[in-house]
Amino acid sequence: MALTIERYLKVVYPFWSKKHLKQWMIHAAIGFSWIGGILSVVPVGLVTSFVDEGTCLAFQLFWEYPQIKVGYSVWNFISFFLFPLIIFVYCYGHIVVVMRKQMRVMAGHNVEGSAQSASQAQSKRIKWNIIKTMIIVSAFFIICWCPLNIYVMVVDDMQKSYELTIGYIATLFLPYVNISLNPFIYATKHEGVRRILARMIICRKRDDVAAVSGTSRTNTMTGTNNTNTTVAPRQ
């Protein structure tokens, strides 16, 4: 969500974001993503954990009162599924609308045919890249997060049977798949991310080559010194 909002502000409000979007805000958003996730999970784990025959069963989602479970399920569905989905669709949809307007403005200028065609083709590629990113991110988010949210709301007690427990573990695994896939999605669809990764790989290769060259040069100099020492004339 933080990455989506950051891209939305830079595309839709470029002048405002350049003036007001500071580096500390991006760092704060990263920190909030971690802290907010921890604060939303740890209290639930403490409340729903219990001791059974001397064994502590943590994060079992065992609710003492059904009303609390219903309230938590609704809050969890809105906060971690419905609200992020609205953010994704709105931000990426608005980005596409703004870029389409920009393409129309560019097409209305008196530009030479070849330059105009190249500019329009580049804008079209960027627009379709954003649309594909929106579709992929939203589709993976729905597929991976919807089963867990529905399961938590529908199933009353996941400890009633072994099958219900296995079903919960299976649905809980999907969000982690989505979290793992998101960096790869943005890396493959975002040119800036690809450029930074390529620069990091190139720098790493250069460092390795420099290290190997430095080692070889050192060994050569050492061998030369040893040879000089060995063949030194006697006085």
Q: Euclidean distance between the first and final Cα of the chain, in Å?
A: 79
In this prediction, residue 86 carries a pLDDT of 92
Query: Do 71 and 100 lie in a common domain?
Result: yes
* Cβ neighbour number for residue 181 with a 10 Å cutoff: 15
- Amino acid occupying residue 184: F
Q: What is the pLDDT of residues 51-85, one digit of tens each?
A: 667 666 666 566 777 777 788 888 888 988 899 88
Q: Does 231 map to a domain?
A: no
Tell how strand 55-57 and strand 50-52 pair up. Answer: antiparallel
Q: How many domains does the chain have?
A: 2
Q: What is the pLDDT of residues 155-205, one digit of tens each?
A: 766 667 777 778 888 888 998 888 888 778 877 777 777 777 778 777 665
What does the alpha-carbon distance between residue 131 and residue 146 come to, in Å, rounded to a whole number?
A: 22
CB neighbour list of residue 140: distance below 8 Å, 6 or more residues apart: 178, 181, 182, 185
What does the alpha-carbon distance between residue 134 and residue 210 come to, in Å, rounded to a whole number?
A: 41
Residue 228: is its pLDDT beyond 50? no
Query: Do 155 and 208 lie in a common domain?
Result: no
Q: What is the pLDDT of residues 126-146, one digit of tens each?
A: 777 777 777 888 888 889 998
In this prediction, residue 203 carries a pLDDT of 65
Query: Do 181 and 92 lie in a common domain?
Result: yes
> By residue range, what is the domain housing residue 215?
190-220
pLDDT-based confidence at residue 46 (cuts at 50, 70, 90): confident
Q: Give pTM, 2 decimals.
A: 0.65
In this prediction, residue 97 carries a pLDDT of 84
In this prediction, residue 234 carries a pLDDT of 41
- Burial label for 235, CB within 10 Å (0-12, 13-18, 19+), is exposed
